[in-house]
Structure 1
Amino acid sequence: MNKGQLQNEILAIIRTVFDNKKALEKIHTFLLTEIYEEPKPEEIPSKYKKAVSEIADGLSAGLICFFNPDTLEFEDIPKDLAYDPEEFEMMTGETFESAGLKHDEWNNCITIEPMESHDSFKIMEYFIDEVRDTNFQEKLINALNRRKPFANFKYLVENSDYRQKWFDFKQARYELYVWDVIKTGIS
């Protein structure tokens, strides 16, 4: 049986007991005690921490980042303008050169794109697992299953006691994403 078939069978079993809280609790306990191992977060080398944090901020705002691993310099550009010098000039009134952008001149340049929406969605799903208030957890799950899941989730979290915990969680996940791209680019 391949991995996909196993996943489908496991999900089918879970669906059969979906309304049975006791059975779900047994499955949950079994998974936590017998199967699941908390992943150890990878340590970002101190040399890169500041750049990684700032790049993560830019990515979460929808910017593309160009990173020079030799000098630790980086440049953020709105995604829509990053690959179109004419559009950049039309929107900003400047050329890449007159704006002081140097990434095209770097010998070593790593491009870091914002996360795909399905990856951002996964971060929200993972955060739900961190929420210990089962009522709020259920609201967040429902928000992700309705139309406009990002907006619904954001509204709930930003108007809750979990607001700061969400920002910290999201920032940490973005930083790991950035470090993974940088690490791949420098190896």
Structure 2
Amino acid sequence: MKSLTNDQITEIAEQLDCGMRCYINKETGEIKTVLNFESWQTDDREPWEDVLNELDENWDKYVEIERMESYESFEIMADFAENVDSRELRDSLINALNKKHPFQNFKWIVDNSGLYRQKWFDFKKQRLIEWVEEKLDEINSLEEFK
């Protein structure tokens, strides 16, 4: 598969984080994104029709970078919580992760944490980029065996 630039890897990470599905043309490195219809309550595929047709007609030229599983997202939140230098915030985040609705509770605390909100976004973005890089390495390893 064609190597991707850092900007392309970042784009994939950001699109996955927004709930999109990301496909890479193995020959050109072009990225195609479409709405993840399983996660969104819409049947309106018209805005995505051209991309969906391209992917359908050339499915063998594309590989999908799948989104993280929820347990992997949870691990990122737990890692962030454990590394927060404010003991009070760290304890609140860890407590939130151990309650019912951990994603919702964590988000609420982070959204109301002042400067730590941006630290969370930066941390999460970096971890998503690393995750995409790992997935690309896995795909490239599989391609070598074909």
Q: Report the AA paired with residue 113 of structure 1.
A: E
Deviation at 1:175, TM superposition (A): 0.8
Which residue, out of 99, 120, 123, partners 1:166?
A: 120
Residues 36-185 of structure 1 correspond to what in structure 2 (within 5 A)? 47-80=4-37, 90-93=43-46, 96-97=49-50, 99=51, 102-104=54-56, 105=58, 107-160=60-113, 161-185=115-139
Please give the secondary structure, in 2, of the residue aligned with 1:155: helix
DSSP-derived class of the 2:64 partner = strand
> Per-residue CA shift, 1:154-186, capped at 9, x if unaligned?
111111121111101101111111111112112
Q: CA RMSD in A?
A: 2.4
Aligned-residue offset at 1:81: 6.0
Q: Which runs of 5+ in 1 are unaligned?
A: 1-45, 83-87
Deviation at residue 110 of structure 1 after TM alignment: 1.6
Give TM-score, length-normalised by structure 1. 0.64
Q: CA 1:134–1:65 in 2, change beyond 3 Å: closer, same or farther? A: same
- List, as ranges, runs of 4+ consecutive aligned residues in structure 1 with deviation greater than 4 Å: none
Alignment identity in percent? 36
Does 1 or 2 have the higher relative contact order (CA < 8 Å, sep 6+)? 2
- Following superposition, the deviation at residue 107 of structure 1 comes to 4.7
1:131 deviates by 0.3
C-alpha separation in 2, matches of 1:72 and 1:155: 37
Aligned partner of 2:66: which letter?
E
What is the Cα deviation at residue 73 of structure 1? 0.9
Indicate the structure (1 or 2) with the bigger Cα radius of gyration.
1
Q: Summarize the Cα distance change of 1:67–1:91 in structure 2 as closer, same or farther, 3 Å threshold.
A: same
Query: Which segments of 5 or more consecutive residues in structure 2 lack a partner in the other structure?
Result: 142-146
**Residue correspondences, number:** 135
Matching residue's letter, 1:179: E
Matched-pair contact (CA < 8 Å) for 1:75–1:101: no
